[in-house]
């Protein structure tokens, strides 16, 4: 995956976000994504209402991987509308991804082993065990300690 393009988020002037080019590092954001244990996944119900739940997952190869039963609320929402937001638990060291979840039917042994090492549970695709991959289109990062100067929007090349 190529490095995403960094710029400033488009927010009202009252936030005080600098016009200077951001100095944030995507490598730092990826390290936070890799190190996190829990992630928040936001989906939309078929009638449009929001639904947010914590999930386990992995950041690997420029994508976020997670699982859910296709019959769960998350799974049913994803079947109707695969657009999602994924973010870390912390609002002080924020990484927020926007993208589309795609269900995958095969994963490699390395991904399954990494998930097992992290959670003690193996990812194995099946009818009652949906595995999804989210490749971000855009991401937002900031650190509360130096907000708004650290506020950065990352734009990813189309995949």
Contact yes or no for 148/18 (Cβ under 8 A): yes
- CB atoms under 10 Å from CB of 138, counted, come to 14
Domain harbouring 76, CATH code: 2.30.110.10
CA distance 60 to 34: 8
- Is residue 135 a part of any domain in this protein? yes
Q: What is the pLDDT of residues 48-59, one digit of tens each?
A: 999 999 999 999
Residue 58: what are its φ and ψ, rounded to 5°? -135, 145
- Is residue 38 a part of any domain in this protein? yes
- Is residue 4 a part of any domain in this protein? no
- Is residue 11 a part of any domain in this protein? no
- Is residue 146 a part of any domain in this protein? yes
- What DSSP string runs through 2-17? PPPEEE-----GGG--
Domain enclosing residue 137, as ranges: 20-155
- Report the candidate in 71, 146, 61 with the shortest Cα–Cα distance to residue 108: 61
Q: Is the pLDDT of residue 2 over 80?
A: no
**50-55/93-104 β-pairing:** unpaired
Q: Is the pLDDT of residue 128 over 80?
A: no
Q: Where are the alpha helices (DSSP H) in the chain?
A: 26-35, 73-80, 109-119
Q: Is the pLDDT of residue 91 over 70?
A: yes
- Is residue 109 a part of any domain in this protein? yes
Q: What total of structural domains would you count in the chain?
A: 1
Q: Is the peptide bond before 148 cis (omega within 30 degrees of 0)?
A: yes
- Is residue 14 a part of any domain in this protein? no
Can you give the pLDDT at residue 155?
Answer: 96
CA distance 139 to 97: 4
- Is residue 6 a part of any domain in this protein? no
pTM: 0.92
Q: Quick one: pLDDT band at residue 46, thresholds 50, 70, 90?
A: very high
């Amino acid at each position: 995956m190529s490095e995403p393009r960094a710029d400033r988020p488009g927010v009202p002037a009252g936030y005080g976000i600098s016009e200077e080019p951001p100095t944030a590092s995507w490598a730092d954001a990826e390290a936070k994504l890799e190190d996190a244990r829990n992630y928040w996944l936001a989906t939309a119900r078929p009638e449009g209402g929001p639904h947010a739940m914590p999930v386990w997952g992995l950041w690997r190869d420029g994508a976020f991987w997670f699982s859910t039963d296709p019959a769960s609320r998350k799974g049913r929402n994803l079947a109707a509308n695969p657009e999602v937001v994924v973010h870390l638990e912390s609002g002080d060291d924020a990484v927020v991804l926007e993208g589309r979840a795609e269900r995958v039917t095969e994963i490699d042994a390395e991904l399954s082993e990494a998930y097992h090492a992290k959670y003690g549970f193996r990812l194995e695709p099946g009818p009652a065990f949906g595995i999804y991959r989210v490749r971000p289109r855009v991401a937002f990062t900031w650190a509360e300690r130096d907000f708004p100067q650290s506020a950065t929007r990352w734009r990813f090349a189309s995949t």
